[in-house]
């Protein structure tokens, strides 16, 4: 994906942006077909994932196997409880050194409930072509909105999260 322009945040021959976008596409394919082993090639064996939203049930996964187990677990407990999920990039991807970040929104919809829009910044740090550190960050306002939504609607959705 060519972002245009020049400078340190733009794609070049050594950029990790194409690898990040390939990971994102593979993630969405795995979300559809539940074949999470397809993501193995994107993570180093000792990768770390900082989840950033403890109410989802965990704050950190250590190791590729733990990360690849976490994805379907949290998706089954959260994302798939909604009828639909629509992703939208808001800013990026941008590259800073060995990191690529993207700010985006996921809109979750279910009949009879208000839409829930979750905004986050995801950062992947690479060593070679492997992600060694993945981090999702949410603003304190987003965390509060999430907590309120879950307090109000988690029972209707059948969600079992740490929404205390």
* DSSP one-letter string for 58-108: -SEEESHHHHHHHHHHHHHHTGGGSSEEEEEEEEEEEEETTEEEEEEEEEE
Could you tell me the pTM of the whole model? 0.86
Please report which confidence band the pLDDT of residue 7 belongs to, taking 50, 70 and 90 as the band edges. very low
Q: Give the CATH number, domain containing residue 137.
A: 3.10.450.50
Tokens in use for 31?
Answer: 């979300």
- Containing structural domain, residue 151: 17-157
CA 108 to chain CA centroid, nearest Å? 14
Residue 45 maps to a domain = yes
Q: What is the pLDDT of residue 8?
A: 41
Residue 151 maps to a domain = yes
Spatial separation of the C-alpha atoms in residues 125 and 111, rounded to whole Å: 38
Residue 106 maps to a domain = yes
Residue 116 maps to a domain = yes
Q: Taking residues 70-76, what's their average pLDDT?
A: 92
Domain count, the chain: 1
Q: Taking residues 51-77, what's their average pLDDT?
A: 89
Residue 77 maps to a domain = yes
């Amino acid at each position: 994906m060519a972002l245009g322009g020049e400078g340190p945040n733009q794609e070049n021959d050594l950029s990790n942006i194409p690898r990040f976008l390939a990971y994102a596409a593979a993630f969405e394919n795995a979300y559809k077909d539940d074949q999470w082993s397809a993501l193995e090639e994107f993570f180093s064996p000792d990768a770390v994932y900082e989840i950033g939203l403890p109410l989802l049930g965990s704050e950190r996964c250590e190791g590729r196997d733990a990360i690849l187990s976490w994805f379907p677990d949290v998706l089954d407990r959260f994302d798939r409880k909604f009828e639909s999920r629509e992703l939208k990039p808001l800013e990026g991807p941008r590259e800073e050194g060995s990191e690529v970040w993207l700010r985006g929104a996921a809109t979750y919809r279910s009949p009879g409930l208000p839409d829930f829009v979750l905004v986050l910044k995801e950062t992947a740090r690479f060593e070679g072509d492997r992600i060694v550190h993945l981090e999702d960050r949410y603003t304190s306002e987003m965390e509060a909105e999430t907590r309120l939504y879950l307090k109000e609607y988690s029972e209707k959705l059948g969600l079992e999260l740490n929404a205390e």
